[in-house]
Amino acid sequence: MENTENTAKQPLINLDEARELVMLLEAGMQDEADSRFLELMRRCEPNIYNEVGNLTRDLHEAIRSFAEDPRLRDIADVEIPDASERLRYIIKMTDKAANRTLDAVDACTPLVNKLTSSIDNLMPVWDRLMHGRIDRFEFVTLCHQIDEMLTQTKDNVDVLSSQLNEILMAQDYQDLTGQMIQKVIALVTEVEDELVKFLVSFGRIEGINPQLKSRTDALIDEAEQVKKSLEAQGPATQTMKDSGKVMATQDDVDDLLASLGF
Amino acid sequence: MNKNVKILIVDDFSTMRRIIKNLLRDLGYNNTHEADDGSTALPMLESGDFQFVITDWNMPIMQGIDLLKAIRANPKLRSLPVLMVTAEAKRDQIIEAAKAGVNGYIVKPFTAATLKEKLDKIFERIDG
């Protein structure tokens, strides 16, 4: 009556219980008193014990399922090494493409320089011809010079054209490495997703952190999207070619198609 | 083959589309158009009078193999020649493409000579 709040809330200890404790202590029964006291305490905070129990169980479960997930084992054993090989291959391809392009530029530069210097050589006499101030001897020499330049330029233009083609073809690395990078991104996303899932299952104790939850859902969606668009294999790595399931060259492809009646 | 043949190039990487377009131009084929995946290519094929398709396999939304199957399933497009230019080189995939009715299969990275050879071969058959 004097403390309505406490009666509503259920008192932590009542008079009978207090008396019982005093009685036990007065009788010198220390052990019984202690265990009675612990019992009363436990009644006050039953959740702590349950929570600690749940937490331990959930953590154990999360670690176990994380460690035993066959997909994760596959990622660690096969896909991470595979991704590393892809990344190394990307370095090699971009290096090759850059060198192919630079080699082509190196091959073209002297030809362009030669053309410029031939024109510079001819220009003064040509100017005089255009202004009608040229003698017969100079005219004949000019004709020979122009003839030589035309022949040379014709050859050089063929070289320039084939080198431009070389530069064009070198750019195929962008498509091929792009496909490989997409594969690696899909793997990184999946690993990230697994880690977040681990955190979420561990974080269940306090209820899922809503921010983490929406981030996980977004990641799972993203991973599925990427996976969907990547059902195809992309460019083959050397390991895949060595396995024999993948055709290593255009000739192998042609042979296979020929065997199918193409 | 008539060099004015109307060709659709389907690839999600614009660099590869440019490369193929340039190579075709070098070979004298100037009437080329582009699409970035099967789902954009199909309506173009249905509404335009394309005579040849060069397609990649691995593309978002609609892959090249599905585009090929859709073309073969469409009475209006059924006989349209399709050349696949792709990095997909698994035996099973090549067999699948052959079964779906592909007219030629080029594995990336490829050379200008390979493209010319396959195009000539396909056109020869059509003309013959």
- Tell me which of A14-18, A48-52, A219-223, B98-102 is least confident: A219-223
CB-based contact (8 Å) between A242 and chain B? no
Which of B15, B58, B105 is opposite residue A234, by nearest beta carbon? B58
Mean pLDDT of A129-138: 91
Confidence band, pLDDT 50/70/90 cuts, at residue A220:
low
pLDDT value, residue B2: 83
Partner B contacted by A259 (CB < 8 A): no
Euclidean distance between CA atoms B74 and A89, whole angstroms: 40
Between these two residues, A251 and A42, which has the higher pLDDT value?
Answer: A251
A64, two tokens: 């176990």
The token pair at B4 is 């004015």
pLDDT in tens, A144-173: 999 999 999 999 999 999 999 999 999 999
For residue A71, the model assigns a pLDDT of 84
| Among B residues 50-89, those touching chain A with beta carbons less than 8 Å apart | 57-61, 63, 87-89
* Averaged pLDDT for residues B14-39: 94
Band the pLDDT of A213: cuts 50, 70, 90: low
Gap between the Cα atoms of A257 and B96, Å rounded = 11
A-chain residues near B15 (CB < 8 A)? 171-172, 174-175
Say what the ipTM of the complex is.
0.75
pLDDT confidence tier of residue A237, bands split at 50, 70 and 90: confident
Give all strands of the β-sheet with B7-10 in edge-to-edge order. B32-35, B7-10, B52-55, B82-86, B104-107
Distance CA A205, CA A209 (A): 10
Compute the average pLDDT of residues A202-219. Answer: 58
Q: What is the mean pLDDT of chain A?
A: 83
Query: What local confidence, expressed as pLDDT, does residue A5 receive?
Result: 45
pLDDT in tens, A23-36: 999 999 999 999 98
pLDDT mean across residues, chain B: 94
Q: Across residues B22-33, what is the average pLDDT?
A: 94
Span A43-73, pLDDT tens digits: 777 677 777 888 888 788 878 887 788 888 8
Contact of A169 with chain B, judged by CB distance below 8 Å, is answered with yes
* CA-atom Rg of chain B in angstroms: 13
For the ranges A124-138, A151-165, A217-231, A243-257, the lowest mean pLDDT is seen at: A217-231
Summarize the confidence of residues B58-82 as an average pLDDT. Answer: 96
Contacts of B18 in chain A (CB under 8 A): 171
Q: If pLDDT is split at 50, 70 and 90, which confidence band does B86 have?
A: very high
Nearest Cβ partner for A247 among B57, B61, B107: B107
Q: Which of A175, A227, A242 to mutate to test the interface with B (most CBs of B within 10 A)?
A: A175
- Higher per-residue confidence, A23 vs A238: A23
- Residue tagged 């993203």 (tokens): A222
Name the nearest CA neighbour of B18 among A128, A174, A20.
A174
Quick check: A223 pLDDT over 80?
no
Q: Please list the residues that pair with B7 across neighbouring strands.
A: B32, B52
Tens digit of pLDDT for each residue in B95-128? 999 999 999 999 999 999 999 999 999 999 887 7
| Confidence check: pLDDT of A204 > 70 | no
The pLDDT of residue B82 is: 97
Residue A2, pLDDT above cutoff 80: no
Joined together, the tokens standing for residue B54 give: 């060069």
Residues from chain A that touch B93, judged by Cβ atoms under 8 A, are 232-233
Q: Is the pLDDT of residue B73 over 90?
A: yes
Query: Residue B6 to residues A139, A184, B19, B104, B128: CA-CA distances in angstroms?
Result: 51, 37, 17, 17, 19
